[in-house]
Amino acid sequence: MENKEISKALLKRLPLYLQYIKALPENTENVSATKMAKALGMGDVLVRKDLAKISGDDGMRKLGRAKESLIRDISAFLEVNRTTCAVLVGSGKLGRALMDYEGFDNAGLHILAGFDSNPVAPETDGGKPIYSVNRLESFCKSHEVAIGIIAVPADNAQEVCNKLVACDIKGIWNFSPKHLTVPDGVIVQSEHLESSLSALRIQMKNN
Amino acid sequence: MENKEISKALLKRLPLYLQYIKALPENTENVSATKMAKALGMGDVLVRKDLAKISGDDGMRKLGRAKESLIRDISAFLEVNRTTCAVLVGSGKLGRALMDYEGFDNAGLHILAGFDSNPVAPETDGGKPIYSVNRLESFCKSHEVAIGIIAVPADNAQEVCNKLVACDIKGIWNFSPKHLTVPDGVIVQSEHLESSLSALRIQMKNN
């Protein structure tokens, strides 16, 4: 469990490294792990270990790592250049905001359509279609859908999850405050805003 | 660094425990850590350790823990019954969705108002006011604001963060894809949707 979490934590740090490196002045040739660690408020050893995992060979570290190869390695690891198609279920405010969020397209996630038991509109402000959830199965059969995004209330989340799994979707991105049970071979990534809030408040209290 | 992350992970597990326990049949007297671990797909040892940290004394574990006292202890630890006031900067789709998200009120977060350099509307669909960001400082002076929520594009995030810190806000909840630098005494909790997406995709690939 803890191993898995640390590995998830690494995956959350990598985009920060990538952003930092890309924002360096254009004529920068080498990236100093020490400077990057300091700028990002992270531990020096941690950053070095992370870069060694992604970019291999740690021998040159005194000189820093070549900027361009580091960008290439991290991008390849995160697969930011690959496009993944998704459907989203739940067309409330959060669901529609996610469907129209431009950051996902930049990160290679293309949300093809939204589904809802009772669509409030035929499409989002950004022009993404919202269909009846009855059409989910046929839609998934006729499109290559890798990820199902859940943005429904907690009470409906497991039912929606089961439907997505039945459509042979192997990755569930869960924005409902509900723990989901899935069969082996399906991965769930959950965003728990209430949990993050608790984490923030407790850190503030202990600070 | 890793210690801190594990502790954040604990904070993310606690709301799941609370949700599971609250959903148990009404006549349940004791909570079995083993059953809960199984239901949530977590390790038995991990769950036991977590509960011992929150609820103390581990001696009764063969009989399970009293349901009501566990609910009380976890709720107290997460401070779900305390209300914290917040302001939000950025009134795009995500910002407005967050302002109207009912789950926050249930978790004790009250978003008083939104601010934007160029408000698209005087209020959200849910009736929360959106003011010019010029009014942020005076608003914070006349209200008890503990948390500042950032929902602006990456390019503006640090500037907005600085403004919130200047308003003496000690907790920043960052929804922009940008690493923020803050002075000592200020806590940042960042949500990185793109990073979560990468985590999901890489897990799917390795599955």
For residue B191, list chain A residues with Cβ-Cβ distance below 8 A: 191, 193, 196
Per-residue confidence (pLDDT) for residue A1, from 0 to 100: 35
A83–B contact, CB cutoff 8 A = no
**Average pLDDT for B146-155:** 93
CA B156 to chain A, closest CA, distance in angstroms equals: 14
Name residues of chain A where pLDDT drops below 70. 1-8, 57-63
Nearest to A93 among B2, B42, B100 (CB): B100
* pLDDT higher than threshold 70 for residue B63: no
Tell whether the torsion through CA atoms of B174, B105, B76 and B167 is positive or negative: positive
Nearest to A46 among B1, B177, B196 (CB): B1
Residue to substitute from B179, B206, B207, interface A, most A β-carbons within 10 A: B179
Record: contact A189-B199, CB cut-off 8 A = yes
Record: contact B202-A103, CB cut-off 8 A = no
CB distance B98 to B111 below 8 Å? yes
Per-residue confidence (pLDDT) for residue B3, from 0 to 100: 40
Residue to substitute from B5, B200, B207, interface A, most A β-carbons within 10 A: B200
What are φ and ψ of residue A154, in 5° steps?
A: -50, -40
CB distance B58 to B52 below 8 Å? yes
* pLDDT higher than threshold 50 for residue B37: yes
* pLDDT higher than threshold 60 for residue B47: yes
CB distance B105 to B90 below 8 Å? no
* pLDDT higher than threshold 90 for residue B10: no
ipTM over 0.85 threshold: no
**Average pLDDT for B164-181:** 92
Query: CA of A181: how far to CAs of A77, A101, B67, B117, B196, in Å?
Result: 28, 27, 23, 43, 19
Alpha-carbon Rg for chain B, nearest whole angstrom, is: 20
Compute the distance between CA of residue A22 and CA of residue A19 in angstroms, rounded to an integer: 5
* pLDDT higher than threshold 80 for residue B120: yes
Record: contact B8-A199, CB cut-off 8 A = yes
CA B87 to chain A, closest CA, distance in angstroms equals: 14
CB distance B80 to A198 below 8 Å? yes
pTM comes to: 0.75
Which long-range contacts link B179-184 to residues 24+ away (Cβ below 8 Å)?
Answer: B179/A16, B179/A19, B179/A20, B179/A40, B179/A41, B180/B150, B181/A39, B181/A41
Q: Tokens 């004394």: give the residue.
A: B57
Band (B57; pLDDT cuts 50, 70, 90) = low
What are φ and ψ of residue B111, in 5° steps?
A: -85, 110
Compute the distance between CA of residue B201 and CA of residue B88 in angstroms, rounded to an integer: 30
